[in-house]
Amino acid sequence: MSVKIQDVADEIWREIGEPSEVVVPSIAFWLQTNVGKLNSLIFGELSLNKQDLEIPNFTEDQKAIFKLMYLEYFYNKKFIETTGAAGTDQILEVQTDSHKVRKINKNELSKTYLAAKVNLQEEIKRLVNGYRFNALIPLDVPGDDTIAENEVVEST
């Protein structure tokens, strides 16, 4: 049975902690528009059905890789947000009299996102290698029952 994009999107959303800034439809859109990227990684020939926006014959193995690809995109987006102009915050701590306000160090936050992204890239490589290995089909299985060319077989 083919895996549905809407179910994959729903799984991803729950696994990343149901964040309010992301919705299941936006994840589904990312998956639907990045089938080509998945194909390039797994040497696949998947395509999006233009009618129901689903991927026919989409398997559990492919789903596992696709989910990690989205997570990598997600943390890369977070990384860009914290390193970009909007993420810059030069004041980390304000102290006056007996009051102290300490802000999140966005530089540290961006390092965390970057580390998560790099880890995911490694995980994707491992899964893709495993997937490619499983998908291998031998062209020939030689055994001792084969008859070599020009070999004379004596009949008894």
List residues near other proteins by CB under 8 A: 5-6, 9-10, 23-26, 28-29, 32-33, 50-54
Shortest distance in whole angstroms from residue 73 CB to other proteins: 14
- Using DSSP, state whether 93 is helix, strand or coil: strand
Rounded Cα distance, 64 and 142, in Å: 34
Nearer to other proteins, 28 or 127 (CB): 28
Shortest distance in whole angstroms from residue 8 CB to other proteins: 10
Count CB neighbours of 124 within 10 A. 19
| b/e burial code for range 78-92 (CB count within 10 A of at least 16 → b) | bbeebbeeeeeeeee
Nearer to other proteins, 48 or 124 (CB): 48
For residues 142, 143, 144 and 145, what is the CA-based torsion angle, rounded to 10 degrees? -90
**Helix runs in the chain, H state only:** 5-15, 24-32, 35-42, 60-83, 106-135
Shortest distance in whole angstroms from residue 28 CB to other proteins: 5
Nearer to other proteins, 53 or 128 (CB): 53
Shortest distance in whole angstroms from residue 16 CB to other proteins: 16
Nearer to other proteins, 31 or 71 (CB): 31
